[in-house]
Amino acid sequence: MKTAPLMRAMSQMSGFQQTLVHTGQHYDRAMSDVFFEELGLPEPDAYLSVGSGTHAEQTARAMLAFEPVLLQFAPDVIIVVGDVNSTLACAVVATKLGVKIAHVEAGLRSFDRTMPEEINRILTDQIADYLFTPSRDGDVNLQKEGVDAKRVFFVGNVMIDTLIRLLPKTDPERATAAVGVKPGHFALATLHRPSNVDDPTTLTEIMKAMAVVAKQRPVVFPVHPRTRARINDLGLASLSGDVKLVEPAGYLDFLALESVASIVMTDSGGVQEETAYLGVPCLTLRPNTERPVTIESGMNRLVASRTSDIVGAVDRMVEKGKAKHTIPDLWDGHASERIARILLEQ
């Protein structure tokens, strides 16, 4: 969702030659191939097959596999997005080989260094040559960390570029019918962060909360492969009650569901951004967020991953409904174009 609009913007300008590297960190077809198809991404020029594993294993494999690819293609700059292990791994390889780095979605901070993603964000920003921030708080964070302001560019959110382009292509009626719910009368849930799914007590609390919520309104839960494995390992499927545990959705189907949900429960950064733009109430099952701008928009609220807290917050947020909200600056569908123009001018 972040790479597609960048490639699209660069392909519409003269002066770029692009090479697409798929690290294979997201190795499940439902989490990778279907997104390539729906987002109109070309076939990767290189596929690294990093796969799953510990953070150290993923990072090391990505570094080892990426170095010969970088030497082969010898680019002027590499573009890394977000905060996954591949982001940091490829950035480290590039800087040691003297290749410039552009970090898209720079400057975001949860200020929680127990999150692996926070470490990836901090370290990537320290070595990047071009830091493209999605919101003003990113600029402030980088300034406090001593990053040269000449390297920082506030451009807006590339995720929203994709949302704006593809929202008209979604079919909410079909997507809701496929999972047996009605638009505007269901809760949508996503869950994948280690702090929520790897701790048996926390995951149990969340599953119980979803079951209670499902007694009042249908809960649709597209289950991330990693999360499903934890649920099965811990024998928690029996706690789900009437929750609809469905397979992961493609981008278009998930966006369709998201746009007509009465509330979304998530621990995903991207979902926080999408709901903030769409004006859909969102409960983030985390003690912090690296996207405070979504809370400032009026549509997102943090809640502890405890049954009583989640249930109470859902009731209050649904009652509040789609309140008046603000869309953050430059979340206008043109962030990728701004990035492409900046790169051309450097």
Per-residue pLDDT of 280-303, as tens digits, reads 999 999 999 999 999 999 999 999
346: confidence class by pLDDT, cuts 50, 70, 90: confident
**Residues spanned by the domain of 102:** 3-157+331-345
The answer to whether residues 78 and 136 belong to one domain is yes
Is 166 part of a structural domain of the chain? no
Please indicate, yes or no, whether residues 246 and 336 belong to a single structural domain of this protein.
no
Query: Which backbone phi and psi does 40 adopt, to 5 degrees?
Result: 75, 30
Evaluate whether residue 259 is within a structural domain.
yes
Looking at the structure, do residues 180 and 99 belong to the same domain, yes or no? Answer: no
Query: Is the domain of 315 the same as that of 336?
Result: no
Task: Give the CATH number of the domain where residue 194 resides.
Answer: 3.40.50.2000
- Using an 8 Å Cβ cutoff, are 295 and 288 in contact? no
Residue with tokens 């960390």: 145
pLDDT range class, residue 26, cuts 50, 70, 90: low
Report percent pLDDT > 70 for the chain: 97
At residue 31, the pLDDT reads: 61
Flag whether 280 is in a domain.
Answer: yes
Report pLDDT for 226.
Answer: 84
In the numeric block, which tokens belong to residue 307?
Answer: 């049954």
Q: 292 and 263 in one domain?
A: yes
Enter the tokens of residue 329.
């600056």
CB neighbour list of residue 208: distance below 8 Å, 6 or more residues apart? 239, 307
**Catalytic residue, candidates 22, 192, 224, 325:** 192
| CA 147 to the chain's CA centroid | 24
At residue 34, the pLDDT reads 84
State which amino acid sits at residue 219.
V
Q: What is the mean pLDDT of residues 158-174?
A: 98
Does 51 lie in the same domain as 179? no
Q: Would residue 26 show up in a list of annotated catalytic residues for this protein?
A: no
Distances (CA, A) of 234 to 197, 229, 266, 304: 10, 9, 20, 21
Regarding whether 298 and 220 lie in a shared domain, the answer is: yes
- 164: in domain: no
Query: Per the domain annotation, does 235 fall within a domain?
Result: yes
Residues 152 and 7 grouped into a single domain? yes
Distance CA 31, CA 26 (A): 6
Q: In this structure, is residue 281 part of a structural domain?
A: yes
What is the overall mean pLDDT for the chain?
95
pLDDT at site 27: 58
Mark whether 46 and 126 lie in a shared domain: yes
Amino acid at position 264, single letter: V
Number of domains in the chain: 2
Q: 219: which strand partners? A: 187
Burial of 247 (0-12, 13-18, 19+ CB in 10 A): exposed
The verdict on residue 65 lying in a domain is yes
Phi (first) and psi of residue 274, to 5 degrees: -65, -45
In this structure, is residue 9 part of a structural domain? Answer: yes
- pLDDT at 272 exceeding the cut of 80: yes
Domain match, 197 and 74 both: no
Whether residue 209 has pLDDT greater than 60:
yes
Q: Are residues 144 and 183 in the same domain?
A: no
243 and 98 housed in the same domain? no
Measure the CA–CA gap between 242 and 257, rounded to whole angstroms.
18
**CA 308, 311, 316: angle at the middle one, nearest 5?**
120
Judged against a pLDDT cut of 80, whether residue 32 lies above it is answered with: no
* Tens digit of each residue's pLDDT (9 = 90 or more) over 72-128: 999 999 999 999 999 999 999 999 999 999 999 999 999 999 999 999 999 999 999
H-only helix segments in the chain: 3-11, 33-39, 55-73, 85-96, 116-127, 136-144, 158-166, 172-178, 194-197, 200-214, 225-233, 251-260, 269-278, 292-296, 307-320, 335-345
